[in-house]
Amino acid sequence: MKQFEGFPARMYFTSIPNVFFSRLLPEISDMAELKVTLYALAALYHKRGQPRFISASELEASPGLLAGLQGLGETPAETLRQALGRAVGRGVFLKLAVQQGEAADTVYFLNTAANQGIVSRVQAGEISLGDWKAGGPPVEAVGPLPDIFALYEANIGMLTPMIAEELRAAEKTYPEQWIRDAVREAVNNGKRKWAYIAAILERWATEGKDDGTHRGHPEKDADKYLKQRYGHMVQR
């Protein structure tokens, strides 16, 4: 193995969603899938304009990616195809067959709510991707990444193993909409902590919750959260 000479003093960086490290990385065991996922995330990040997508032909034409897949399957091209299929099946990317005249290709989007809407509009013929139009079978994708975890990271902060366990327990205890509403209320009140969210949920479970709001005034009742199970953890 050739030793890496080290990172240069000046270099560019690529943004990777936090949820990749907390939810996806522990679940991906296939090296080819991991390499292809990271490469595609980086490629999408550096794309210009909206919507951002990358085609199968672009990925197949990347010498660096194909070199990294050498020895992981029958051929790098077949390994790439299989790895993309696993990533789509996992829910990381949305896959859409497109065509331009007689030419056909496949494009991949990051699986977000916004991109799900874009894919649906392309399939309905409402919009096109430049000269590309939807073609072939419907989009292949599973649902988005676990909503509660993504919601937490987008609004509160990066997940830790302990917080992830708390969220899993909350999913089994409370309706999903309660958790969403509790996160929203915590953000609105400037209390971006899981302890505060958990206290809200406990209060709703005890005193009731009607039509997405708990009984009483959120700001006036905020101090009551501090007296419950997680109150000692909430910083005022």
pLDDT tens digits in sequence order for the chain, 236 residues long: 789 899 999 988 888 988 899 888 998 999 999 999 999 999 999 998 888 999 999 999 999 999 999 999 889 999 999 999 999 988 899 999 888 878 889 999 999 888 888 888 888 888 888 877 776 554 444 444 446 777 787 778 776 778 878 888 898 899 888 998 999 899 888 888 899 999 999 999 988 886 544 444 443 444 444 444 444 434 43
Note the residue count of the chain: 236
Domain with CATH 1.10.10.10 in the chain: 18-134
Q: Please give the pLDDT value at position 229.
A: 47
Q: How many CB atoms lie within 10 A of CB 13?
A: 6
- Say how far apart CA 195 and CA 229 lie, in whole Å: 9
> Which residues are CB-contacts of 167 (< 8 A; sequence separation ≥ 6)?
148, 149, 152, 159, 179, 194
Instruction: Say if domain 18-134 classifies as CATH 3.30.470.10.
Output: no
- Say how far apart CA 223 and CA 65 lie, in whole Å: 54
pTM: 0.59
Number of helices (H), then strands (E), belonging to the chain: the values are: 11, 6
Confirm if 233 and 199 have CB atoms less than 8 A apart: no
Confirm if 203 and 178 have CB atoms less than 8 A apart: no
